[in-house]
Each structure stands twice: as structure tokens, then as C-alpha cells.
Chain A
Amino acid sequence: GAGVSQTPSNKVTEKGKYVELRCDPISGHTALYWYRQSLGQGPEFLIYFQGTGAADDSGLPNDRFFAVRPEGSVSTLKIQRTERGDSAVYLCASSLDGFGKNIQYFGAGTRLSVL
């Protein structure tokens, strides 16, 4: 595809529910990143995949958050037992290989609202 695609663009859920957010990176990009952007803040790093493996998950806030990338392309961010504080825009980015010049290309994000 031409760019990073994220679905859904908006997700409204109730407190306590489980949600999955999907990211389809730029074709050929081996590095994939998830970020969370709260109102008035810059994007905050969550997790980084190099191929199929999570190279760095130090940004995940707690064990309710989990992400997978089983075939090294599409990734899913999973949030269990959602809380109102999880409401934010979740951004996905990809880069060619994550080494050297780390130019990351972002999708439009998924706006998650937990009621």
C-alpha cells in the first residue's frame, strides 16, 4: 500500500471491554512501532517490532496491553479490561529497517474512546 493503514479510525467501547487495533505497515518495512497520543501531548512510544519479534516493549504501560505481529507485516495492539484512562489516539508507524536513519512513517491513528 501507499502508506501505513490503521483500522478502525475510531473505536468507542465501554469500560472493562477488550479491544483490538490493527496496523498495516508500508510494504517492505520490517520495523513497526506503536505509540499513544493523549490530548495535548506528543506521541508516546509503546512497543517496537523488528520483523515478528518485539524488540522493545518497554513503553507498554501495564500487562493489559499486548501487541503481536505474527507474520512480520500486520500488527494488532490488544487492550484488555479497558479503562477510561486508555482513551487516546493510538498511532502506528513503520520504517524500512529500524537501523541507521530512523525515519518513521505514521498512519492516521485509531481514536479510542472508553466510556
Chain B
Amino acid sequence: SQQGEEDPQALSIQEGENATMNCSYKTSINNLQWYRQNSGRGLVHLILIRSNEREKHSGRLRVTLDTSKKSSSLLITASRAADTASYFCGRGSTLGRLYFGRGTQLTVWP
């Protein structure tokens, strides 16, 4: 994708383990947003990190942003079966556009 990619495409772990997903982008961003999509549903906003921030936490979620490497990561600690979903990063441009890729499919086994 010309906007960047999420990596890996698929991730399978056991309950209790941590899950790390990565997101890269190619052009300057205003912010980066992470979303979750359960099967057959719309995207749900999880967390937003601005371009001048390096790390943000929300419950079991931790997001980092490295603007020098044009990359971000989402860490879910102590994963649960209910965390099974696709996770997307939205690259927020300064023109009000939010670009997504294909997401990371996370499967958490009980």
C-alpha cells in the first residue's frame, strides 16, 4: 500500500500472552489511531497518539510512535479470547484524511 502496512498480517497467541502489532507509514502524519474490528462489524476506535507524542496507555493497551522510523506499535498485555479481532492503524493526515491498510488478524486461544 502506498500509505503503509500493518505487520504481521496474522498473529496467533495463547490467553495471557502479550500481543504486539506494528504499523508503518510513508508520509507525514498528524496523528495515528488504532482501531479494532470484530468479525462482521464496524471499526471501533481504541486509542489516538499525536505526532508529538511517543507513548500512550489505555488499560491493557500501550501504543508507541517513532516518527523517525515512521512506525507505531500496539501492545495488548495479558491477552484474552475476547481480544480476538482485526486491528487496524489509521494514519491521520493533516488534511483530515485517515488512511488504513489491511490490518492484523489477532487470534487469542483460550
**Is B one of A's binding partners?**
no
Residues of B within 8 A of A (CB): none
